[in-house]
């Protein structure tokens, strides 16, 4: 069987493994399995009585993880979303676990695989779905959302100061034809931002991030996901979350703060943050 190359160099690996404090006979969840960079180390520390549950919405990631973890027999692979962790565990007959890892955001493979449409480099189909079985794509967002909806998404999820101008030009462009490729969208964005303001990284970076977050509903459920994940931990369990931008970081920290204030915290909670 052909398996896509899905190498994942895990960030904060040492910190995650130390934070999870893995028990050999424990039950652990990698809610963002990817290419199993973190999970390979977690699985290696488990005995035959331990269990690793790997969740990912990307079927390509799951296939790669199965290949990368083929030597380990105590791994369950779930095509799903970490936002549904409580239901996933319930379906497995599990109430609580010893540790949960969430490595949020888009993976390097998804960015590198240009045909997925996550990257603003090249001329590729506008897609951006982490789960290719879902219907909503970047092409649908860009071509069907209203100007106000687009402006709000680009501003809120991309923190893009020229969001209104970008949204206006997207709508003007699509009056003539559908926006079908990443290259078309990049050129619209570049023409919407003054040249003098295009010095801080690629001009399309913020807009692409915003559309990707909308397509994959990355932020709206996150607060509840953190709180539910805490509920899913045994006494003494650990929750490790890696965030890559300030929007995720704020949500995770607020959920943590609220959990503490509500005396909601039955366990130690570890926040691991990497800001790109």
Give the CATH number of the domain where residue 138 resides. Answer: 1.10.150.170
Strand partners, 270: 240
Of 216, 231, 262, the one marking the end of a domain is 216
Q: If you average pLDDT over residues 76-95, what whole number do you get? A: 98
CA–CA distance, 31 with 43 (Å, rounded to integer)? 14
pLDDT of residue 112: 76
CA–CA distance, 135 with 191 (Å, rounded to integer)? 29
CA–CA distance, 150 with 206 (Å, rounded to integer)? 13
Strand ranges of the sheet holding 233-243, from the earlier edge strand across to the other edge: 75-79, 51-56, 27-30, 97-103, 233-243, 268-273
Q: Please report which helix (H) or strand (E) contains residue 30, including its range.
A: strand 27-30
Determine the structural domain holding residue 206 and report its residue range: 113-216
> Do 247 and 266 belong to one domain?
yes
CA–CA distance, 30 with 40 (Å, rounded to integer)? 10
User: pLDDT tens for residues 181-215?
Assistant: 999 999 999 999 999 888 878 999 999 999 999 99
> Do 235 and 201 belong to one domain?
no
User: pLDDT tens for residues 31-41?
Assistant: 999 989 999 99
CA 273 to chain centre: 14
User: pLDDT tens for residues 146-186?
Assistant: 999 999 999 999 999 999 999 999 999 999 999 999 999 99
Q: Locate 173 and state its tokens.
A: 């462009």
Structural domain total, the chain = 2
From the number of C-beta atoms within 10 Å of its C-beta (0-12, 13-18, 19+), residue 59 rates as: middle
> Do 196 and 242 belong to one domain?
no
Question: Is the CA virtual torsion 109, 272, 33, 25 positive or negative?
Answer: positive
Task: Establish if 230 belongs to a structural domain.
Answer: yes
CA–CA distance, 110 with 58 (Å, rounded to integer)? 9
Strand partners, 238: 99, 268
> Do 165 and 147 belong to one domain?
yes
What is the pLDDT confidence band of residue 131, given thresholds at 50, 70 and 90?
Answer: very high
Q: Answer whether 34's CB lies under 8 Å from 63's CB.
A: no
Q: If you average pLDDT over residues 28-55, what whole number do you get? A: 96
CA–CA distance, 103 with 18 (Å, rounded to integer)? 15
Q: If you average pLDDT over residues 215-238, what whole number do you get? A: 95
Strand partners, 239: 100, 269
Task: Establish if 2 belongs to a structural domain.
Answer: no
User: pLDDT tens for residues 252-272?
Assistant: 999 988 888 776 555 444 445
CA–CA distance, 219 with 77 (Å, rounded to integer)? 24
């Amino acid at each position: 069987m052909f398996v896509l190359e899905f190498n994942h160099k895990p960030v904060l690996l040492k910190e995650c493994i130390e934070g999870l404090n893995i028990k050999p006979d424990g039950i652990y969840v990698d809610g963002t399995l990817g290419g199993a960079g973190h999970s390979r180390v977690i699985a290696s520390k488990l005995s035959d009585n331990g269990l690793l549950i790997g969740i990912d919405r990307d079927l390509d990631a799951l296939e790669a993880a199965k290949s990368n973890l083929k030597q380990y027999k105590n791994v369950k692979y779930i095509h799903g979303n970490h936002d549904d962790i409580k239901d996933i565990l319930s379906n497995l007959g599990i109430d609580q676990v010893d540790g949960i890892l969430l490595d949020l955001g888009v993976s390097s493979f998804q960015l590198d695989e240009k045909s997925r449409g996550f990257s603003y480099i090249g001329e590729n189909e506008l897609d951006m779905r982490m789960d290719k079985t879902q219907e909503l794509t970047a092409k649908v967002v860009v071509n069907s959302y209203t100007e106000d909806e687009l402006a709000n998404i680009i501003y809120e999820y991309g923190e893009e100061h020229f969001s209104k101008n970008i949204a206006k030009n997207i709508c003007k462009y699509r009056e003539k034809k559908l926006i079908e490729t990443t290259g078309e969208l990049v050129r619209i964005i570049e023409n919407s931002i003054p040249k003098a303001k295009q010095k801080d990284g690629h001009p399309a970076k913020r807009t692409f991030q915003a559309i990707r977050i909308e397509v994959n509903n990355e932020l709206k459920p996150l607060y509840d996901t953190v709180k539910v994940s805490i509920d899913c931990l045994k006494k003494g369990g650990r929750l490790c979350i890696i965030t890559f931008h300030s929007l995720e970081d704020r949500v995770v920290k607020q959920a943590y703060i609220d959990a503490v204030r509500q005396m909601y915290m039955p366990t130690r909670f570890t926040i691991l943050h990497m800001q790109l």
